[in-house]
């Protein structure tokens, strides 16, 4: 009886550790927990074929996001703009060039971080994403967060902050403190495009980057 019990436990451990049965190696008994690379590529593949909202009609390319699979920081923007729609890469236009300066100021490299958006397709004329478009697309971002486990999430602007923190509070109210999403610290700052339009926002962004650095 004891031998049978140990054998069963042994087989169970085998299943849990490898996802395969040693006695019947041809049978996969469960799905092995996928690694971040495969989780992210399955999100990217779904995004590529997504028709959940009307943005799929006007987009040229989807922009799922890019970066390190174990990022210290996940930067989350609003939605792709013209350059991003052309290239399929996030933050590669003027706002992206400016964001790269912020990343460097925080002592980081762009390639070491992950950059994504709330909405993966460009809204026409760069309008704000509509609530139904956000609702359709946020589950992709949630799956990316689950796969990446970033040390910190940095929300760029109001749309990302509201979407990830489920609030309608102003950026002024949300900045300057550490929030949490799924157990991950979240900081909020202005969107790089907003700061390019209004240089007075540079000083508060610097404060926000200092707060971000304390969490790394
Ligand atoms: N603005 C965003 O919010 N995201 C991008 O990828 C580019 C500009």
Which is nearest to 69 in space by CA: 142, 150, 153? 150
176 Rama sector, left if φ>0, alpha if ψ -120 to 50, beta otherwise:
left
Tokens of 51: 């028709």
Q: What are phi and psi of 117, to 5 degrees?
A: -125, 160
- Prediction pTM value: 0.85
Distance of CA 195 from the midpoint of ligand 1 (Å): 13
Percentage, residues of the chain above pLDDT 70: 85
Q: Which of 55, 86, 93 to mutate to test the pocket of ligand 1 (most atoms within 8 A of CB)?
A: 93
Sheet harboring 184-189: ordered strands across?
Answer: 66-67, 114-117, 73-77, 152-156, 184-189, 179-181
Distance CA(190)–CA(118), nearest Å, equals 15
Confidence of residue 159 (pLDDT cuts 50, 70, 90): very high
The pair of structure tokens assigned to 179 is 């929030």
- Asked if 154 and 216 touch (Cβ cutoff 8 Å), the reply is no
- Our answer on whether the CB atom of 95 is closer than 6 Å to any ligand 1 atom is yes
pLDDT of residue 29: 52
Mean pLDDT of 68-75: 98
Distance of alpha carbon 146 from alpha carbon 127, whole angstroms: 28
Considering the segment(s) 36-214 as one domain, its CATH architecture is 3-Layer(aba) Sandwich (3.40)
């Amino acid at each position: 009886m004891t031998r049978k019990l140990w054998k069963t436990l042994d087989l169970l451990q085998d299943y849990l550790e490898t996802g395969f049965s040693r006695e019947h190696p041809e049978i996969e008994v469960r799905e092995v927990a996928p690694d971040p690379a495969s989780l992210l590529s399955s999100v990217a593949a779904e995004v590529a074929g997504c028709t959940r909202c009307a943005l799929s009609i006007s987009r040229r390319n989807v922009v799922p996001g890019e970066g390190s699979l174990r990022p210290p920081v996940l930067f989350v923007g609003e939605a792709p703009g013209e350059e991003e729609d052309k290239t399929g890469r996030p933050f590669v236009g003027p706002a992206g060039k400016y964001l790269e300066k912020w990343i460097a100021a925080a002592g980081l490299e762009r390639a070491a971080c992950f950059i994504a958006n709330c909405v993966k397709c460009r809204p026409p004329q760069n309008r704000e994403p509509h609530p139904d478009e956000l609702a359709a697309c946020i589950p992709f971002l949630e799956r990316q967060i689950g796969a990446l486990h970033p040390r910190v999430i940095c929300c760029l602007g109001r749309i990302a902050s509201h979407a990830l923190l489920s609030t309608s509070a102003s950026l002024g109210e949300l900045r300057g403190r550490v929030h949490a999403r799924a157990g991950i610290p979240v900081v909020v700052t202005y969107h790089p495009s907003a700061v390019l339009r209004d240089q007075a926002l540079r000083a508060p962004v610097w404060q926000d980057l200092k707060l971000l650095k304390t969490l790394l």
